[in-house]
Structure 1
Amino acid sequence: MERGRAMSGSSRAWTWRHAFASSSLPATTKAVLHTLGMFMNELGEGCYPSVADICRYSGLDKKTVLKHLGTARDAGWIAVSQHGYRGQRWKRQEYAARWPERDLLSACPPADDAKGGGNTPPPSEPSDAVDFVPVGGGNEGSKVVEHVHQDKTSPVNIPNNSPFERERESDQEGRENRKSIERAFKKAFHAWPTAVTDSEPDAFRVWMTLTAEERLAASEEAGRYVEAAKATGRKHVCSYAVYLREKRWEKLPVKAAATGSGDNQPAQAAPLGKIWGARVYELLLAGPSRSVSLNEIERGIAETGRFTEESLLLEKQARHGFPDVNELFEKAANRRGALVPSRLLAIKDLLVQVRIGSDEWAVWEEFHKQRGWPWLPNMGSAEWVYFPVGGPDGLNGFEKALRGLGENDGN
């Protein structure tokens, strides 16, 4: 029987941090979980740091990190699963916050007992096993394979009760949001030609890995994809899970606008190419679209003197402050391009190739770190990326050229 159950999507990440901080876990295990929490969003959803990242920010060596990740996993505080396609170097572990059943009561405030709250939830169903394989590279050594359990419970069956009464209102809001996502999924799923024979739980799991923008696009383009598939002579359409997982709607030709000139149409940008790079730096120079601040645990890490508050804020801003840039990076890591404003074609010659791993590449990487900008993930076999000409010192000229194109049209 699995020792932990998945957190409700509406629970805040800080409640999970508060709970494990109050648990009987070893101090080093808590420190590893504190570090892991830095990579999670505000809902405590899955994150993908490498073991080298965790070593870097915790100040612990690889052996210690792996040991205490295993301790936290075995105690039911995290679930570990592997994400990525076979043969791709960007494959990484996903770490997701979990509530261990045996610690729920002790983690709740004492006042809950008097109110009759804090009941232990029903045990989870037995789950399938997956391999826990730390990623190689950096501080990593040879891969270590362990057998761990993964919660396969349908995301639809999330308990309605929160272990913390003071989170009741925010939990309710989160549950309502989850219900709207489920309703949108069911509407789209049952309109798919193979819905009768498809696995609805499998499709829903893939649906939940998509961004809100991707879910909307998948729904809106489903009919056009089915028509395009039939037009090629296919007798059968793929399952809805495959359609979502491979994001097949992105392979459709761009729809022509009913009115307006071609200049207003978005342009298809190849990953790591000229107008792709132009869009990246247009978004970065516009500043973060989401503000970030340090939580109590992160401020505690700063107080230890290991990191400054400024460095932690910049790191957090890079992870959460530029979601559109991170989405472009993620697509590029999967060798997928993106639609960008066609006006950027006018300045594409203001970008030059930089070899990945070169001295110039390292200069750009350090500049991004100092500005709190996200940096490119592992690009696999790619060798070149386009950056603004003149290096970081040439960004002023690039920014002036952007202003000459007019306001961001939002495409």
Structure 2
Amino acid sequence: MRGISCTEARVLWHLADCHNPIFGCYPKQDYLANACEIDERSVRRSLSSLRDKGLVNWVEQREGKNRKANRYSLGFEAGFRRFETTDSPENEPDNLSASSEISTGQECALQPDSNGGLNRTPESSIEPVREPVIEPVRERGSAREVSEDDPKALRKRFQALIVGRHDNPWPDVLSSAPEWAFQQFVKLSPEERQRAEERRDAYLAACPKLASGEHKGKPKAAALGVYLRDRMFDLVDAIAPQVVRGQAEKRRQEEAIPVAPFGPIWAGKRALALLDGPVAIELPDNLLELAVETYNRLRRSSETTARSWANHRGIAVDGNELVFPDDYRMQERRRRQSDSGYPEAHALDKLAKDRGRGAADPRFAILADLCEAVPVGSETYERWRAYHQQMNWPFVPDPGGMRVVYFPKGGPEGLGEFEMAARAALGMERGDVDAI
């Protein structure tokens, strides 16, 4: 219908579905909102617009001070009277069923149909009568064997799409708009209909599940008509694996164990990251020229800062000239490896410097049994410092006021035994940095 929005058309469709020529039309706004899958404010806005456009009218109904369901009259009814801005609610007729010949909002009285086919009871006129669901179409002798243009075959296939198999009906299909959904099914090409049917259960399985209420555990799916109109069945192949991965990641996060800085799991993960070795470090060909440029830039700001920078890199300063050692490139490579060559260990060090708290997969809990507390400043602590320097590893950050820091059991001499036990328990090989 031209001149009205899609939302208004849905509201008008459901009003017409609730209409009874004998008893009238009395749907409640919450029913219309649920049927149209919109909120009640949108229902009221649509009703007001439809009334202004002369397509519907209604009379408020009260019982004492309590409001009851409005009696709606529709534009196709004989004697329909448009709403006028001069109309006053006090002058509108009493709309109790059969109270007078104008109680239906029309200027003529309607008589029951002779065949009784239109004579619903007052209760059934409040909400539309639903057709019984047809049994799902079986693969053998299915509707696909019939011509794609056969309306009866399409209707059976659509009903099978609603019912599904293995007690898996489409969620809330009766409270949505099944006839509109059927029209979307008809509009699809034969190939699209087949994909919609074949991927139906995969789509529902990929949808998130309701966490509470009477439908707890049921899929929170789009309306069937939307699934068909937006061809959401074509997204299943791409979305389903992501949903599975997302659910697995959520489970991992829910089951994750804490990683306290300087604690046993922190120490075990850090040791494994160092044992995996450094990442490749690339040095520029003009390394010396770049060092001279950096020194001169720092010198313009502070002579002290520039000399400290050079001394840290083993570069001597002779007047205004820099004197590089013969093995400067090798020393610079080792420095850069220690400073940035162990990204996983550096991330754990940053966590410790920030006094943060990390999380790890539950399987890393085994590392707590493979590490021990070492008092800060003790002989074992200093042996660990010397071993890190020997291996060109970054040492643990300043522990501040902490009295102990965890390291693998047995001191540096027991590191080989720690690595063997840890990798066997975790099912890891050397170089499995992503697994850490």
TM bin, normalised by shorter chain, reads 0.3 to 0.5
Relative CO higher for 1 or 2, CA cutoff 8 Å, sep ≥ 6?
1
User: TM-score, structure 1 length as denominator?
Assistant: 0.34
TM normalised by structure 2 equals 0.32
Select the structure of larger CA radius of gyration: 2
